Amino acid sequence: MQITLKPIGTAHTDAENIPRHWTVSDVEGTLVIDPNYTEGLSDITTGQRIVVLFLFHKSPPFSHGLLKQAPPHRKLPLGVFSICSPKRPNPIGLSVLEVLERKDNVLRVRCMDMIEGTPILDIKPFIVNEEALPSRENSC
């Protein structure tokens, strides 16, 4: 099976120091989306949070030795699927960003953890429904 993904846009920021995760980031920047997709942005509003899927395009190729990694804030290695490392079998990242402004095909956002030129793969709404979440007693 072959899977082909085509970026829908590119992330841009002037920040020199990018935090490792969106939850600890105040970095602002823009997502410039291909003008062919502008109509798909029509209901995104200021103050909204969006989920952005992107490609870790500068990440080194994945190898078996990267299945366990020690993040900078941990002493012991953890499995790659339990951490947010950019060194992954499929180098896909996920961030939840705050929309500061939308102008045509450009979204000005905050909480960026993407470097300049990062390819954007998709944008989805950030939806939290507390009632739909499983209770602690019934969770897997």
The rounded distance, in Å, linking the Cα atoms of 97 and 22 is 7
Domain ranges for the chain, please list them: 9-58+65-127
Using one digit for the tens of pLDDT, what is the confidence trace for 102-129? Answer: 999 999 999 999 999 999 999 999 998 7
Give the predicted TM-score (pTM) of the model. 0.86
Confidence of residue 31 (pLDDT cuts 50, 70, 90): very high
pLDDT of residue 135: 58
Tell me which architecture the domain covering 9-58+65-127 has in CATH. Beta Barrel (2.40)
Confidence of residue 139 (pLDDT cuts 50, 70, 90): very low
Distances (CA, A) of 78 to 18, 37, 68, 81: 23, 38, 5, 8
Total Cβ atoms within 10 A of residue 1: 2
Using one digit for the tens of pLDDT, what is the confidence trace for 57-109? Answer: 998 899 999 999 988 778 889 899 988 888 899 999 999 999 999 999 999 99
The more confidently predicted of residues 24 and 118 is 118
